[in-house]
Amino acid sequence: MSAPAVHYRVIPHNPGAHLWRVEMEIRGGDSTTQALTFPAWIPGSYLMREFAKNLSGLRAEDDQGAVQLERVNRNHWIARGFKGTLRVVYEVYAWDLSVRTSHLDQTHGYFNGTALFMRAEGLENGSHGVELVPPEDSLCADWRVATTLPRKTGNDWGYGRFEASDYDALIDYPVEMGTFDHFSFEAHGIPHDVVLTGQHDTDIERLSKDLKQICETEADFFGRPAPLERYLFMVMIVGKGYGGLEHRDSTSLITCRADLPAKGELKMSDGYRNFLGLCSHEYFHLWNVKRIKPAAFTPFDLTQEAHTTLLWAFEGITSYYDDLLLVRAGSIGVDDYLELLGQNFTRVYRGKGRLKQSLADSSYDAWTKFYRQDENAPNAIVSYYKKGSIVAMALDLEIRKATENAASLDDVMRRLWVEHGQTGIGVPEDGVERIANEVAGVDLSPFFDEAIRGTKDLDYPALFAHFGVKLHFRRADAPGDPGGKKGKVHDIQLQARGAIGARLKDRPGGVELTHVLDDGAAQATGLSSGDVIVAMNGLKTTVATIKRRLKIWSPGTEIDVHFFRRDELLTRTLVLRPPALDTAWLELDEDADEETRARREAWLGAPNA
């Protein structure tokens, strides 16, 4: 194979100033003109992040000297009048500790290709070479390298030369450099590596066993072998943080130290359950969205938004299976699963936005709405993750019902994998529905019209009843009650308490209303998000005092509220309203008959469910 026409040297040039230096070479063509673009977004995260904003010192040269770079727009340049090899040099500022951009200091370096690699237009389908160069800083002398970029030179975990088959592949291999911990396991014979960056005291043996179980369950789900030669989990461990981003054969994760199981800790904490759910989610994506892709992403245009109404299928279905497959893998019990499901319902039912925005619109407008949420978000939008996962579950149950459990959403996913994942043909906007109809053997259009294009709540309790599960809605025990548990439903005092209809946050000197909810007492009184309540009935407030007093203030109670809007002190009388029945919890129907129990067991994939 000939040497790649496009080659990059990546140098952790000045970790103290958070600067990477990139030296790009476009070799040996006859061309005297070359267009260069820089990505504005990263696949998997639907927001224009304008990565070019972090570039500085951009210049170009050939063997004769400087080459003019003509600007076309904010992330598009044209080099003209050069001969032979064109060299483009720039620095990239990297101080975003997230899975989506790049971070560099004297403790570690991390980057996504979308943050570092200029694209040579017209050459994107050829191979791209990368040389990763060690930092000169003596504090970084013992750094190693973790990436699934295909290696050409150097030792495992060392610096060296790498090569990606094309530009899209190049930007799908994040790179971590530093003094990370590392462990490995095999899932159905395929090597899996895990690198842990940041201080921790994790029970590696337990984590390794749990991850192996999840990876094998998901490979079995789609059909072996998994389409991988290797896989890498890159975990950044921090005091506070959460997030993940999927790639074809790796994932970048950020997690709280406290969410990982410490050595000697045996129980399944809520945090660890969430972390395993995140791993399960990103791993599921290696099929669903990294290979089964919407047609709108085939190929990616990273200079502008790519709209699809299908994010509910790629994120919602993945969110449905991330927890369900933990049950099937034996990582969590059915009770855990029902609790997570209840929390999911609660998150969706807490926002009236679900009655205004459909899943199709939520998907399409992710760029301007879901990813750019403001104080009105709960009233205006619905999450294609959270509602998407509930609708995915409803679709699963509808198919099981229509086929008397002979088929399910599992079969839809396997069909999508064979017809779109393995072939690389993008899923058209009606593709999921078409395959679901074929698998179900009935026309599910009315379901999709209501669930995907409509905004009404589906009759979930009736659907669950067919599978021996009861869904209940109750009032929140207190502001911030995540749901999922039965709660204090028999506490008469609680049942009688009033609600403000706003989300609250402690601020110096008072309590800020971060979100004012539609049809709540706060909105009716004219309180707005951003207002800071300093006193209620003449007494100074905190979130804790409000929670305490709401237990004794019943609906209809009138409360004098003193609050600041900007720097002006205002007074209103707040009339408390009854809390909404927006907190969900589920339980197994103990009285379900044999047939119903069998349906439930087949769905959950767990005996004695």
Residue closer to Zn ion, measured from CB, 119 or 290: 290
Tokens of 355: 């009655």
Output 426 or 520, the one with its CB closest to Zn ion: 426
Provide the minimum distance between the beta carbon of 328 and Zn ion in the complex, in angstroms, as a whole number.
19
CB of residue 576 vs Zn ion: minimum separation in angstroms? 39
Residue with tokens 């462990």: 183
Q: How far from 298 is each of 289, 294, 308, 432, 503, CA to CA, in Å?
A: 11, 7, 11, 16, 40
Residue 25 or 365 with smaller CB distance to Zn ion: 365
Which residue has the CB atom at the shortest distance from Zn ion? 315
Shortest distance (Å) from residue 381 CB to Zn ion:
17
Q: How many residues bind Zn ion, per CB under 5 A?
A: 1
Give residues 522-581 in contact with Zn ion (rule: CB under 5 A).
Answer: none
Give the C-alpha separation, 231 to 185, whole Å. 10
Nearer to Zn ion, 162 or 221 (CB): 221
Report the alpha-carbon distance of residue 513 to residue 535 in Å, rounded.
13
Contact mark string toward Zn ion, 375..414, x via CB under 5 A: ----------------------------------------
Closest distance of CB 586 from Zn ion, Å? 23
Nearest to 243 by CA among 42, 90, 396: 42
Q: Which is nearer to Zn ion, 313 or 527 (CB)?
A: 313
Nearest alpha-carbon partner for 360 in 430, 435, 439: 430
3-state secondary structure of 417: helix
d(CA 302, CA 281): 24
Which is closer to Zn ion, CB of 129 or CB of 316?
A: 316
Judged by beta carbon, residue 315 or residue 481, the one nearer Zn ion is 315
Q: Give me the sheet containing 108-111, strands edge to edge.
A: 102-104, 108-111, 175-178, 144-146
Q: How far is the CB of 383 from Zn ion (least distance, A)?
A: 12
Please state the closest distance from residue 269 (CB atom) to Zn ion, in A.
22
Q: How far is the CB of 288 from Zn ion (least distance, A)?
A: 9
Q: In this structure, are residues 382 and 348 in contact, taking their beta carbons and an 8 Å threshold?
A: yes
CB of 64 to Zn ion, least distance (A): 48
Q: How far apart are the first and last CA of the chain?
A: 55
Draw the binding track, 309-348, toward Zn ion (x: CB under 5 A; -: no contact). Answer: ------x---------------------------------
Q: Output the smallest distance, CB 316 to Zn ion, in A.
A: 9
Binding range to Zn ion, per CB under 5 A, among 89-97, 291-299, 307-315, 393-401: 307-315
- The residue among 249 and 315 lying less far from Zn ion, judged by its C-beta, is 315
- The residue among 102, 436, 76, 346 whose CA lies nearest residue 236 is 102
Alpha-helix runs per DSSP H in 370-527: 377-380, 386-402, 409-416, 431-440, 445-451, 460-465, 492-495, 521-525
Give 163 or 315: the residue with its C-beta nearer to Zn ion: 315
Q: What x-and-dash track marks residues 264-303 binding Zn ion by CB under 5 A?
A: ----------------------------------------
Residue 254 · residue 243 · CB < 8 Å: yes
In 3D space, the residue among 456, 484, 461 whose CA is nearest the CA of residue 471 turns out to be: 461
Binding positions for Zn ion, rule: CB under 5 A: 315
